Amino acid sequence: MSVLVDKNSKVIIQGFTGSEGTFHAQQMIEYGTNVVGGVTPGKGGQIHLDKPVFNTVNDAIEKVGANTSLIFVPPAFASDAIMEAAEAGIKVIICITEGIPTKDMIIVKEYLSSRDCTLVGPNCPGVITPGEAKCGIMPGFVFKKGRIGLVSKSGTLTYEAADQVVKAGMGISTAIGIGGDPIIGTTTKEAVQLFMSDPDTDGIIMIGEIGGQLEADAAKWIKENGTKPVVGFIAGQTAPAGRTMGHAGAIVGGKDDTAAAKMAILRECGIKVADSPADIGILMAELMQVNV
Same domain, 149 and 25: no
Query: What is the C-alpha to C-alpha distance for residues 162 and 39, in angstroms, rounded to an integer?
Result: 31
Length of the chain: 292
Return the percent helix, strand and coil in the chain, to nearest 5: 35, 20, 40
Structural domain boundaries, residue 274: 138-288
- pLDDT at position 210: 87
Residues 152 and 275 in one domain: yes
Annotated catalytic residues are 247
Same domain, 50 and 165: no
Instruction: Kindly state the greatest CA–CA separation across the chain.
Output: 56
In a domain, residue 93? The reply is yes
DSSP string, 102-118: HHHHHHHHHHHTTSS-E
Whether residues 190 and 81 share a domain: the answer is no
User: Residue 290: its pLDDT value, please?
Assistant: 80
Task: State the pairing for strand pair 47-48/51-54.
Answer: antiparallel
* 146, 266: one domain: yes
pLDDT along the chain (292 residues), means of 10: 90 98 98 98 98 98 98 98 98 97 97 97 98 98 98 95 97 97 96 98 96 93 98 83 57 66 96 96 95 67
The Cα–Cα gap between 13 and 104 comes to: 21
pLDDT of residue 69: 98
* 158 and 68 housed in the same domain: no
145 and 99 in one domain? no
Does residue 234 share a domain with residue 95?
no
Give the per-residue pLDDT at 255. 58
CB within 8 A of 269, min separation 6: which ones?
219, 220, 222, 223
- In this structure, are 76 and 28 located in the same domain? yes
User: Count of domains in the chain?
Assistant: 2
pTM: 0.94
| Residue 6 belongs to some domain of the structure | no
CA 36/CA 45 separation, integer angstroms: 14
Query: Considering the domain boundaries, does residue 154 fall inside one?
Result: yes
133 domain-assigned: no
Burial pattern 46-74, b for ≥16 Cβ within 10 A else e, equals eebbebbbbeebbbbbeebebbbbbbbbe
